Amino acid sequence: MIEKRNFYIDGAWVAPAKSSDHDVIDPSTEEVCAIISLGDHADTNAAVAAASAALPAWSATDPAKRADYVRGILAQYEARAEEMAKAISLEMGAPIDMSRADQAPCLPWHLENFLTAFDHIEWIKPLGPHAPNDRIALEPIGVVGLITPWNWPMNQVTLKVIPALLAGCTIVLKPSEESPLSSLLFAEFVHDAGVPAGVFNLVNGDGMGVGSQLSRHEDVAMISFTGSTRAGKAISLAAAETLKRVTLELGGKGANVIFADADDKAVKRGVIHCMNNSGQSCNAPTRMLVERSIYDQAVETAAEIANGIAVGPASEPGRHIGPVVNRRQWDQIQTMIQVGIDEGARLVAGGPGLPEGMNRGYYVRPTVFADVNNQMRIAREEIFGPVLSIIPFDTEEEAIAIANDTAYGLTNYVQSQDGARRNRMARALKAGMIEMNGKSRGAGAPFGGMKMSGRAREGGVWGIEEFLEVKAISGWAAE
């Protein structure tokens, strides 16, 4: 049993002001694997006060020195990468090989990309030759509250904490109470890297508690949140009281448009991508739109691939998906699978209940529905599990209309060998990110969406600029 009852505030591990314990459940076994404490107002206020006190010195620290501290965090990760992979696997159910290869390495990947982008930040620059005595200055926004989710814990912590540090902000992090162990380990990295006291603070808590308190706190200048659209709306309303900046990275219902001329691995690639991380990714391509001339074959292939995906404990090595994070999530997914059946979609793989041979753990059968129309709930609501809906289309225009007919706008995908068509689709699809023919976005590309997916832009130069204020100065003296 792991016990993590202290918070990291003002450079030290401190006991919470008031004890309120929370069980962290291993989703592979349904057993308690850790006990943490949840913070209250006093803890939140202490963390914000520490961040406020540290802000003047940290914001005035030379940018190159801030970058050196960030490199120190990277060195700590490299020395303890296996610990990070095991923590993530235990707390949220990512299979250990996937955690080692994909989940934990999010930290060095994003951190190094931010350092590269940081070299291109101009802190004071001329407005233009027409205004020789005008300057544009970039300055840290101040104390920031960072609220991160459980599904890709270190991905989101890194995408928020590192650019905030580089920008010169001071931080209060509230990780998800479902996956706090990796963030507590990250706090150790920050401490051992020598980041000055008060610059980074961590308070565990839930959304209604610490999350709401940070959103309303008058000394917090900005909230950066990743999670559900419902929670994003609540945070926006709470933050409006103090007119703080709010950046939101929310849900998705990605369309994967597969044309008849797509490569022969397109369907397989789409199914595997949808099921990756047990479907617990906001950018998962959960709606597969297939041109009618290849539709029957695509359905057959998708069913075959899904039926071949193994499901097993997170602790076991191998190529399989693990459980979903908790009972509540499992119940919601089961409800939506039954909704799909009741709506008349054709179940071609998976279905309700635990996978064969399992009687405990929050495991979901990789599920594929065919003959879905875009008005069904399974096509409109984010299920956040390994559930794929396949929808036929006849023309490019119809595919665009179906893909865009959603409240969300995070990531869409296009599979076609026709370059001109791909370019048209990329411009027509209403999403913050478009990925085509299995090509991932390049290093430093911004992650974020449109519409109900929020409008954050995390990663690269954009991710750092989210934590900066822009100041216009006239009458600048020549130097």
Q: Please identify every residue annotated as catalytic.
A: 249, 282
The distance of Cα 18 from the centroid of its chain, to the nearest Å, equals: 30
CB 318 within 8 A of CB 312: yes
Helix or strand (DSSP H, E) at 346: strand 346-349
The partner residues of 140 in beta bridges, in order of sequence, read: 468
Q: Where are the alpha helices (DSSP H) in 322-418?
A: 327-343, 377-380, 396-404
Encoding tokens for residue 246? Answer: 């709010």
Encoding tokens for residue 408? Answer: 């969300």
CB 33 within 8 A of CB 26: yes
Helix (H, G, I), strand (E, B) or coil at 258: strand
Pairing of β 287-291 and β 255-258: parallel
Helix (H, G, I), strand (E, B) or coil at 267: helix
CB 247 within 8 A of CB 156: no
Sign of CA dihedral 467, 69, 94, 203: negative
Q: How far apart are CA 292 and CA 391, in angstroms?
A: 9
Of 224, 106, 230, nearest to 174 (Cα)? 224
CB 34 within 8 A of CB 3: yes
CA 141 to each of CA 169, 241, 454, 467: distance values in angstroms, whole numbers, following the listed order: 6, 17, 20, 6
DSSP readout, 10-42? TTEEE--SS--EEEEEETTTTEEEEEEEPP-HH
CA 128 to each of CA 124, 125, 172: distance values in angstroms, whole numbers, following the listed order: 12, 9, 37
Q: How far apart are CA 38 and CA 23, in angstroms?
A: 10
